[in-house]
Amino acid sequence: MRLGVVALSLCIARAAAADSPTIAVGGYIEAFYQYNFNQPTNLVTAYRAFDDRSNSFTIDNAVLDVVGTLGQVSTHIALQIGSTPSTYYNAEPNYPSIAGIGASDADLWRLVQQAIIAYKAGDLLLEGGIFLSPIGFENLPIKDQWNWSRSNLFDALPFYHAGVRATYPLAKSVTGAVMVTNGWNDIVNRNPYPCVAGIVTWAPTPAVSTQLIYFGGVEPPPGTPVGQPWRNLFDAVASWQVTPELQLAVHADTGFEPDPLGTTSWVGGAAYARVHILPPLYVAVRADYLHERDATNAPRLFFPAASVHSITATADYRPVSNLSLRLEFRDDRASSPMYFRGDDVALDPMGNQIPTGTSQQTLTLGAVSWF
């Protein structure tokens, strides 16, 4: 009898342990001060993903990240505040309140960086919600990046998606994933059509990782002069830990969008290198380029200039394990004016400032702390 009671107690304890939730709490704060050698009077460093304020101490982003798991279900929520969310949701569709439905715009969603419900069924992972875009080598948290700023290619491509995703290991070193989402940077869809994506990741060794992505769908809203063509994106990333001290990576992206006016297409790439010079010190360099060919009379998809490129050098000093201090120099160039320069800021008939510079150089001092 006593043994039976003990066995029953152990079973109950195990069941309770199995049903006990686990909660992981993390977060980070990013802050920087930047000097723009163009000395724009409007203090704007143009067409940079997030480090876009000069001569100003800026809280880039403050993020609280929580993941709760209970059995096969997990919930992931990341909340954010700072200058980054304002740019992050800049392209979010704007819908007014109508017929008893609340309005939806960038201000509604800007505090939410990620919101994901996940279910694990064996090796199959199913997820739904708002998640960071898997496209490209770079991503949102600076603590996980080699440089402080992001490349022009990152700025042009989507930051986030809203939809569902399924991930499954296809072989020992190969993982496949499919996504169905609202599109590029839209939590609320801007048209009635979903976008689809296929992802294959191959990591033959711990030192080598590659990723191929196809992303396609209709992006323009109804009523667009060019209609609603299907946009095709092809993306490839490879990284290599050459030695314990040297890391290399490349990112290539191309795509096209045919419409009644012709075909808009683009091609871009970025190359990265990071050297671990001393235990607390890393130095990273990046070169990136993006060129867009537009259909006749069609608006450009990404930048005012047809071609943009930049060269970036970053020193990353980590005196302790959860603090990164970075000093970065970056040189941006464009084939036509898209940057601000001194007092030479023209105004259009509506009083909006027009960029007049074809280049800009910046020096940024930033700090990231996380837990």
The tens digit of pLDDT for each residue in 233-282 reads 999 999 999 999 999 999 999 999 998 888 999 999 999 999 999 999 99
What are the tokens at 215?
A: 């992303």
Letter for the amino acid at 365? L
Q: What is the DSSP string of 219-261?
A: -SPTT-TT--PEEEEEEEEEEEE-SSSEEEEEEEEEEEEEETT
Contact 337, 358 (CB under 8 A): yes
Contact 254, 268 (CB under 8 A): yes
What are the tokens at 326?
A: 């970075």
Task: Indicate if the pLDDT at residue 2 is higher than 90.
Answer: no
Contact 35, 71 (CB under 8 A): no
Task: Indicate if the pLDDT at residue 203 is higher than 90.
Answer: yes
Report the C-alpha gap between 125 and 51 in whole angstroms: 34
Mean of the per-residue pLDDT values of the chain: 92
* DSSP assigned state of 261: T
Q: Smallest Cα–Cα separation from 82: which of 42, 106, 110?
A: 110
Report the C-alpha gap between 124 and 196 in whole angstroms: 19
Between 213 and 1, name the one with better pLDDT: 213
Residue 84 has φ and ψ, to the nearest 5°, of -60, -50
Contact 288, 269 (CB under 8 A): yes
Task: Indicate if the pLDDT at residue 221 is higher than 50.
Answer: yes
Would you state the pLDDT for residue 15?
41
Strand partners, 27: 64
Q: Smallest Cα–Cα separation from 45: which of 362, 368, 347, 343?
A: 362
Task: Indicate if the pLDDT at residue 45 is higher than 70.
Answer: yes
Report the C-alpha gap between 290 and 237 in whole angstroms: 16
Report the C-alpha gap between 364 and 167 in whole angstroms: 38
Report the C-alpha gap between 210 and 202 in whole angstroms: 5
User: b vs e for 88-101, b when ≥16 Cβ sit within 10 Å of the residue's Cβ?
Assistant: bbeebbeeeeeeee
What is the arithmetic mean of pLDDT over 328-336?
Answer: 97
Q: Smallest Cα–Cα separation from 185: which of 236, 144, 235, 221?
A: 221
Q: Smallest Cα–Cα separation from 217: which of 227, 231, 237?
A: 231
| Number of neighbours of residue 199 by Cβ within 10 angstroms | 19
pLDDT tens by residue, 288-316: 999 999 876 667 889 999 999 999 999 99
Domains and CATH numbers, the chain: 23-370 (2.40.160.10)
pLDDT confidence bin for 8, thresholds 50/70/90: very low
Contact 274, 284 (CB under 8 A): yes
The CA-CA-CA angle for residues 170, 154, 282, to 5°, reads 90
Strands 346-347 vs 323-334: parallel, antiparallel or unpaired = unpaired
Strand partners, 34: 364
Strand partners, 313: 285, 329
What are the tokens at 135?
A: 């496209």
